Structure 1
Amino acid sequence: MTPPRFRPKTSSPGSSGFRAIADEVGAKVMFDAAHQCGFIAGRAWKNPLAEGAHFMTMSTYKSLGGPAGGLIVTNDAESAEKLDAIAYPGMTANFDAGKTAALAISLADWISHGEAYAQEMIATAKAFAETLSEAGLPVFAGDSGFTASHQFAVEAARFGGGQTAARKLERGGFLACGIGLPVSAVAGDNNGLRIGTPELVRFGVDRNNVREIASLCARVLMSNAPETLAGETAALRARYQTLHYVNV
């Protein structure tokens, strides 16, 4: 067998098939689950640790809905010992007890409600995207459709770019952001607009009532005076005040 040319300390792949390659050169497989963490915790997506990853990094907010921060998790004892040695006292001297307590409560909510929350985020994102598409907006689609997660994107060239579209939405009471897409570039701006559903679903929006919100979002994007619709957005938002998928 030809000796390997490279021996990386860590690899960050998108497929469990890389485990064999990593084992051959003595590397560890890391999976970045920054956005996917909620779907892994909610069993909507496969667990990378069970698919061959040695450890997994993730955000504790985004689709997980906890306080801002991150986690490195592993089911490999050797990796855990090395990570512990690096993290403390090598890189950190203390921790935020309040944030740790908030994360513990969030994770307890996930044990009870995570599967339902994850599935509803996906279904709500699909319904939102479908409604925008039906309104004539260029929703970006891949081989599996508009989305299989909590977020989707709109091709933003017709709005002057993704960040330009996001600022227009903000004038109408919606928060979104620009993002890069594998489509033609927009000079001086992102070519996509990203919309997500975690916060919506957490406050009671679902795959059925999101269509009203999406229709208003489409009107804001296509309006020449989006600020005139901000009152409608505020009134619609006022109907969703109760936090869902939590332990009472």
Structure 2
Amino acid sequence: PKLVQFGASVFLFPHPVKELVPVAHEVGAHVNYDAAHVAGLIAGKQFQDPIQEGTDTMTMSTHKTFPGPQKGIVIASHDELAEKIKKAAFPGMTSNHHLMHVAGLAVAAAEFKKYGEAYSKQIIKNAKALGQALYERGFQVVCPDKGFTKSHTLLVDITNFQDSIGLGADVEQRLEKAHIVANRNLLPWDILEKRNYLNPGGIRIGTQEITRLGMKEADMIVISDLFKAVLVDQKDPKAVAQEIKEFRSEFQKIHYGFETSLKAYEYIKIV
């Protein structure tokens, strides 16, 4: 192969980069690591560092665990490769760098430099705590033998709700009615079970945003109880939505960032 690619959209655990990079390089393959989902955890020193483990490049987005505006970044392992990528990117494939995002990205980077390590640690603590709490309430959170996750993400097998609620799309929509945002997601074995991405056997949950709002491990227990109310107890989602509104009212500040008088998600009227 000319290219060997690491990375995933459900990135629960580090990949065997150190072990496989030498094999790829033996046959002259370029090795890239797609860090779109875990870039913030890498920057916060809480996840594997692929460049240090031998990859040639790392691609990433700046709006997931790295909490900035939507952009993409390519990091190269050495200067000569970086120059080739620069020339390919501009003028080869892009015409500008979307100047309106630069200030926001600079602020996000400055905030992350100061608070990113603490933020990343808490993201993972919350993910593990939420995985455990959901598991204790009867949810089939994958990889319980591995502590559920070493990142911000949890993957839950919801096929036990197939007869009562449905599969991933049905569960996703029911949760949304209760103001819980999760997304349907394929399980690794879904294709074998003849399920597809339109209504798969799983849902994916992330903790980066609730962590930014200041939630800690104890709050993950509350959240798991809300999941249980909607899916296991099958309470009216609208009634649960009211409970969530009350719970969420206690978290109105963005944490792990510079001080501001604005509330989280407050609309800023410009004109």
In the alignment, which residue of structure 2 is the partner of 1:236?
A: 247
Question: Residue type matched to 1:126 in 2?
Answer: K
**Residue-by-residue CA offset, 1:67-111 (whole Å, 9 max, x unaligned):** 122111123111101101100011111121221211111111111
In the alignment, which residue of structure 2 is the partner of 1:34?
A: 36
CA distance in 2, matches of 1:128, 1:186: 29
Out of 108, 111, 114, the residue aligned to residue 109 of structure 1 is: 111
CA distance in 2, matches of 1:187, 1:79: 41
Question: Residue type matched to 1:191 in 2?
Answer: G
CA distance in 1, matches of 2:258, 2:56: 32
Runs of 4+ in 1 over 2 A off after TM superposition: 16-28, 182-188
Q: Please show how residues 167-178 of structure 1 align to structure 2 within 5 Å.
A: 167-178=173-184
Further displaced range: 168-177 or 212-221: 212-221
Shift of 1:143: 4.3
Q: Which runs of 5+ in 1 are unaligned?
A: 1-5
CA distance in 2, matches of 1:237, 1:126: 21
In the alignment, which residue of structure 2 is the partner of 1:192?
A: 202
Further displaced range: 209-218 or 101-110: 209-218
CA distance in 1, matches of 2:202, 2:194: 9
Shift of 1:224: 4.8
| RMSD between superposed Cα atoms in Å | 1.7
Question: Residue type matched to 1:194 in 2?
Answer: R
CA distance in 1, matches of 2:77, 2:206: 30
**Residue-by-residue CA offset, 1:172-195 (whole Å, 9 max, x unaligned):** 110000111134537461110111
CA distance in 1, matches of 2:31, 2:195: 37
TM-score w.r.t. the length of structure 2 is 0.83
Further displaced range: 186-195 or 32-41: 186-195
Q: Does 1:11 align with 2:32?
A: no
CA distance in 1, matches of 2:22, 2:173: 46
CA distance in 1, matches of 2:137, 2:189: 21
CA distance in 2, matches of 1:196, 1:176: 8
Q: Please show how residues 84-99 of structure 1 align to structure 2 within 5 Å.
A: 84-99=86-101
Distance 1:183-1:22 versus aligned 2 partners, 3 A rule: closer
SS of the counterpart of 1:50? coil
Shift of 1:25: 3.2
Out of 131, 134, 138, the residue aligned to residue 133 of structure 2 is: 131
Further displaced range: 213-222 or 166-175: 213-222
SS of the counterpart of 2:31? strand
Distance 1:130-1:56 versus aligned 2 partners, 3 A rule: same
Further displaced range: 103-112 or 207-216: 207-216
* Identical-pair percentage: 36
**Residue-by-residue CA offset, 1:32-55 (whole Å, 9 max, x unaligned):** 111111111010112111110111
In the alignment, which residue of structure 2 is the partner of 1:217?
A: 227
Quick check: 1:161–1:186 contact (8 Å CA) kept in 2? no
Question: Residue type matched to 1:221 in 2?
Answer: L
SS of the counterpart of 2:88? helix
Q: Does 1:206 align with 2:208?
A: no
Shift of 1:16: 2.3
SS of the counterpart of 1:63? coil
In the alignment, which residue of structure 2 is the partner of 1:246?
A: 257
Quick check: 1:176–1:195 contact (8 Å CA) kept in 2? yes
Aligned length: 241
CA distance in 2, matches of 1:166, 1:24: 44
CA distance in 2, matches of 1:194, 1:58: 20
CA distance in 2, matches of 1:85, 1:30: 18
Shift of 1:118: 0.7
CA distance in 2, matches of 1:108, 1:97: 18
Distance 1:79-1:143 versus aligned 2 partners, 3 A rule: farther
